Chain A
Amino acid sequence: MKSKITLLVVLGGFAALFTGCATTKVQPWERATLADYSMRPDRDPMHNTMFEHIYFSREASSGGRGVGGSGCGCN
């Protein structure tokens, strides 16, 4: 009985400690790499242009996102 209690306490303790791992976050002073230009999704204009071209070709919606109006005449 005593050993079961000990086991439960140890397991409970480890569960509590491991919960802390899930809340680890990058601290404000550790964000140099994240702030780098190479981390921006729009860092390559050529890539953006090509991606947009593929997007509107695939979706058959010239302008894709960012251009108002459509064929229905609603706006």
Chain B
Amino acid sequence: MSLPTKIITGLALGLALTTAAWAEVKIGQPFPRLDGYALEGTLPALEGQVVLVDFWATWCAPCKASFPAYSELQHELAGRGFVLLAVSIDKTNAPYAEFLKRFSPAFPTVRDGSQKLVAEVKVPTMPTSYLIDRKGVVRAVHSGFRGAETVSSLREEIIRLLEEKP
């Protein structure tokens, strides 16, 4: 292989890898396994469950505004095989712990302090939630939180997934 060919091949490979590295998790793709990211906190049992993974942060106002509505969703659907997991991307523990102490959400929360998971998933905005079916495949992505509109469509999608046969 001549030198120019080698260089062109190298550049093409580099660009292809860069593009692949910037691909975000989309509908129809498997969601990364959460046990490989050293998340702070206790992960609930997610196998065979319909899971809503919500990325949030204490510095993000709409993220915090979603908590009361998400607590209601959790109360309503938890008994049917649904788990809502809130993943904080706060780098430091203090604001995260203080917020949880003040609010005490009804759903489990973990902290992605190293931001490895969120960088892998590449959320398009904050907050973003991923609805994952029982097989671990992303079935819906909600960017941002628009109050009742988001909750209503989420509820419909969750119930549809819960009613699917495993």
Which residues in A have some Cβ–Cβ distance to B below 8 Å?
2, 5-6, 9-10, 13, 16-17, 20, 27-32, 35-36
Nearest chain A CB to B71 CB, angstrom units:
23
Closest to A30 in B: B115
Closest to B128 in A: A28
Q: Is the CB of A28 within 8 A of B15?
A: no
A32/B57 contact (C-beta < 8 A), A6-B4, A9-B8, A13-B7 known: yes
Cα separation A13 to B135 with both chains bound (whole Å): 42
Cα separation A10 to B156 with both chains bound (whole Å): 54
A6/B125 contact (C-beta < 8 A), A29-B115, A32-B57 known: no
**Interfacial chain B residues near A20, Cβ < 8 Å:** 18
Nearest chain A CB to B112 CB, angstrom units:
9
A27/B57 contact (C-beta < 8 A), A6-B7, A16-B15 known: no
Cα separation A13 to B8 with both chains bound (whole Å): 8
Interface majority SS on A: helix, strand, loop or mixed? helix
The one of A17, A27, A35 in contact with B59, judged by C-beta atoms closer than 8 angstroms, is A35
Q: Is the CB of B91 within 8 A of A16?
A: no
**Interfacial chain B residues near A29, Cβ < 8 Å:** 55, 57, 89, 115, 118-119, 123, 126
Which residues in B have some Cβ–Cβ distance to A below 8 Å?
3-4, 7-8, 11, 14-15, 18, 55, 57, 59-60, 89-91, 115, 118-119, 122-126, 128
**Interfacial chain B residues near A32, Cβ < 8 Å:** 57, 59, 90-91
Q: Is the CB of A6 within 8 A of B3?
A: yes
For A5, A27, A28, A30, the residue with the greatest tally of chain B CB atoms inside 10 Å of its CB is A28
Nearest chain B CB to A59 CB, angstrom units:
34
Nearest chain A CB to B101 CB, angstrom units:
20
A28/B59 contact (C-beta < 8 A), A10-B7, A16-B11 known: no
Closest 5 A-B residue pairs measured CB to CB? A35-B59, A13-B11, A29-B118, A28-B126, A32-B59
Nearest chain A CB to B35 CB, angstrom units:
20
**Interfacial chain A residues near B122, Cβ < 8 Å:** 27
Closest to B11 in A: A13
Cα separation A30 to B55 with both chains bound (whole Å): 13
